[in-house]
Structure 1
Amino acid sequence: MEGEAAYGFIVNVDAQGSGLLSDTEKPDMRRRLYDVTGTAFEQAGIRPPRLYQEDRGDGILGVLAPDVPPVRVLGEWVEHLHQNLRESNRHLRKPLRLRVGLHIGRVTADLHGRSGRAVDLACRLADCGVAKAILKAADGAPLVVAASDRVHEDFIVPGGRWVDPEHYRRHDVELKEGRTTAWFMVPGRSQPPEPPEERGPDAADGPDGRQGPPRGDPPRTPAPKDAGSGVVQNINQHGTGRIVVGGTIDTINFSDGGDR
């Protein structure tokens, strides 16, 4: 019912590098995007009305009904999507490469589409810097999957058909809402490649397209060198007692405290 939140598994698909395509190239990209994802849902036995899809221009938002086992998406759908992409990209000069964000949670439906914090997170994961960097570093790979920490704990760790938790690698990512943990997988590889250090959501590229200086502790300023090799010990003595100093002292200056 409109306006009421329902529990659902969220699949957000984004095309890598779509902003570099011309107006004449984008219609073909979108056709292939819908073909490979839609065929994968059919192959996994996931169809409307248990599957809702919403166009996102260079991507597709999907929300699955609560009775669809998430492991079917993580296993069968992801594997079919991977193979469909490989077949579709064969001999293409500009292959279609996709980033998939996965999360589960409350989704609200209205006349205009689907919304909710869970939807936002799935979209953010697919669009985050780590997902883009991993796919860029995975030369020749057409797909990267970014799963939320909750999806990983509840559905990936137990495993299942074509679901191997050992193939996922954890990264803490910076999103607009803050820092969160996500798990990344590149189908066909035992582990995704290690991406360069992630930038925050508002970080800007340098003029050569590279990120700015790496985060971390600022460089230390070296301590000034001693003017000489001797050690001078200044001692203000008030009253009586012994003075214990470690090391070798060349000069000792005593003061009795002046007028005190």
Structure 2
Amino acid sequence: MTSDGGALVHSLAEAEVLALAAVYSERISAGQLLRQAGLESARQPQGTSTAIEYWHAVNATLVQGVLPDARCRILTIAARDFPANPAFQTGLAAAQDAELAGGQPRVAGQPRNTAQARRADRELPTNGTVIAFDAVGYSGLNMLEQRQLRDGLRGIIEGALAEARIPSALLQQDRGDGYLMVFSADIPKARIVADFVRELGIALNDYNATHNERGRIRLRVSIHDGDILEHGTGWAGDTVVIGARLVDSTPIRDALAHDKDADLALILSSEVFVSVVRPRLRGLSPSSFREVDVSVKTFSATAWLTLPGRPLPAVPAVPAGRPSGTQTPAVPVSQKGPEGPDHSSGLDEPDGLDAPVRADGTKWDFFVSALEADEAWGAWIAGFLQENGYLVRYDAWNPVGTNEYWALDKGLNFSERMIVVLSEAYLASDKVQASWGTAFNRDRGGLDRRLIPVRIEECEPGGLLGGIRYIDLVPFRRDAERARSYLAQEIDRAVKGSYRPTVAPPFPGC
């Protein structure tokens, strides 16, 4: 293993783990692949119950460097067996690039993909994960106490990384009362958010158990990801700035000020929450996070806050001793009550843009997508679903002044299912293709019925939509009651995932 990036090719990215678990789900085929790659049977996981757990266990072994160039070896075989799988092709190219940059030898017999290999170029941004740490009350300590805190913080972070089996960061900057760390995108964000934060809380608790109140360390931590640019001995770019803004924001400060027993507060950018927490990767639970408004200097955004291992306060209180006239902390949008500032616009309604996140990580049961030309049908379908007890997002109902693209992103990311109102105009529109394409990619096999087309006029979907069975309202365009009955039946089938007729079908020969 090398310290300049070569070590990163020994383990798999999260997308590659998921792809391997999907196609090498049987232990026999998975074991054969690993033996071909050079991982002996004795080092392969034992006792795991599911394919996902098995491949995560494999990756935890690879992180230790037991198989040099493991990522290249495994993905070369997987790409050969499944040449149409983009995760294997993309991952193999990235592993080869990391190999070239780190100076690692190539696997014997492995072709060099010179078309996809790129030169290490420090003038181009790269993707990474930024973690910012800030210690509470640092400025109130004397010189010796500050030195003790810094030594303790460094040991806590390094110990947590070791226990989580996460390789060293590309960059670590000691900022006195805190740390800034930048990790390569090759390290799955889910392992950082779940495994590292868990071990960080354990290490912090162990440290504080042996120190008095003056020596106690309480941490604010933020995690964000995006493009970063190496600059001298540090990193530049909005990603680093946003990480620093989040850790210094009012919601996370007030969370620790409100709960004096909490030693750790974590705030995630929306990008990290949506990609890692909402799909419940590594056992993460969306219900343990609260959506909050962040405004620091010129930066303003939505983020997600939690106190790991502790309940969140119902409403963040203004800390005692705050000077009068200072800005009151923003009330989390998921906690705004009927008297909240947005009541007049309807945003605090269960189906409004500020609806609370449910235990399954969604806000709404259905997101209805229709063109303006078919707005009447979109409204009728959305209204029908709402009358039948479902929570619905329909963009035509957004209040004046709503950012259209922001609302669309919310609807797509926080709805369990998407209904597309099919017409000739809809099928010809490039504007909506990316929207239903997002829902399609989350459930390509259609097993969860994430994408439900509803045809409202004579048209025949092709391409990806052509392979999905649609609800056909065309025969009932002039019969509202039969349309309602048929739509209710088909929606019920889609939600339940099964259908059994209540009356035995007639004999076909009669």
Query: Quick one: structure 1 residues 211 and 9, their matched pair in 2 at CA, closer, same or farther if it must change by over 3 Å?
Result: farther
User: Aligned in 2, Cα 1:86/1:111: closer, same or farther, shift over 3 Å?
Assistant: same
How many percent identity over aligned positions? Answer: 29
Distance in 1 separating the partners of 2:145 and 2:228: 33
Question: How far has the Cα of 1:147 moved from its partner?
Answer: 0.5
Deviation at 1:4, TM superposition (A): 2.1
- Asked if the contact 1:184–1:192 (Cα under 8 Å) also holds between the matched residues in 2, the reply is no
**Aligned partners of 1:196 and 1:165: how far apart in 2?**
22
1:209 — aligned with what? 322
Provide the C-alpha distance between the structure 2 equivalents of 1:178 and 1:8, rounded to a whole number of angstroms. Answer: 20
- Matched AA of 2:251: V
Partner of 2:279: 158
Contact 2:132 2:222 in 1 (8 A): yes
> Larger radius of gyration, structure 1 or 2?
1
Residue number in structure 1 paired with 2:487: none
Go from structure 1 to structure 2 and tell me whether the alpha carbon gap of 1:59 and 1:106 turns closer, same or farther (over 3 Å shift).
same
- The answer to whether the 8 Å contact 2:254/2:318 transfers is no
Structure 1: runs of 5 or more not aligned:
199-204, 218-260
Q: Following TM superposition, by how much is the alpha carbon of 1:24 offset from its aligned partner in structure 2, in angstroms?
A: 1.7
The total of aligned residue pairs comes to: 208
Could you say which structure has the higher strand fraction? 1
Measured against aligned partners, the alpha-carbon deviations of 1:102-133 in whole angstroms (never above 9, x if no partner) come to 10101111223011101100111111111111
Please tell me whether residue 30 in structure 1 is matched to residue 143 in structure 2. no
CA distance in 2, matches of 1:167, 1:13: 20
Is 2:290–2:306's contact at 8 Å kept on the other side of the alignment? yes
Q: Does 1:118 align with 2:231?
A: no
Q: CA deviation at 1:55?
A: 1.5
Distance, in Å, in 2 between the alignment partners of 1:193 and 1:46 is 34
Residue pairs, 1:72-151, within 5 angstroms: 72-91=191-210, 92-94=212-214, 95-151=216-272
User: Match of 1:15?
Assistant: 135
Measure the CA separation in 1 of the matches of 2:283 and 2:160.
14
- Alignment counterpart, residue 177 of structure 1, candidates 281, 298, 302: 298
From 173, 192, 201, give the equivalent of 1:54: 173
- Residue type of the alignment partner of 2:275: D
C-alpha separation in 1, matches of 2:317 and 2:136: 17
Change (3 A) 1:161 1:192: farther
Unpaired segments ≥5 residues, structure 2: 1-120, 329-339, 342-510
Q: Distance in 2 between matches of 1:118 and 1:93?
A: 34
Q: Distance in 2 between matches of 1:66 and 1:179?
A: 25
Q: Does the CA contact (< 8 Å) of 2:264 and 2:307 recur in 1?
A: yes
Q: Secondary structure at the match of 1:24?
A: helix
Of 78-87 and 178-187, the range deviating more from structure 2? 178-187
2: distance between equivalents of 1:211 and 1:173?
A: 20
2:209 is equivalent to residue 66 of structure 1: no
String of CA shifts for 1:168-200, please: whole Å, max 9, x gaps.
0111121112321111010112435532369xx
Q: Is the 8 A contact 1:138 1:193 kept in 2?
A: no
Residue identity in the other structure for 1:77: F
If asked which structure has higher relative contact order (CA below 8 Å, sep 6+), I would say: 1
Change (3 A) 1:144 1:190: same
Contact 1:185 1:192 survives alignment (8 Å): no
Structure 1 residues 174 and 214 mapped into 2: Cα distance closer, same or farther (>3 Å)? closer
Cα distance change, pair 135–213 in 1 and its aligned pair in 2 (3 A): closer
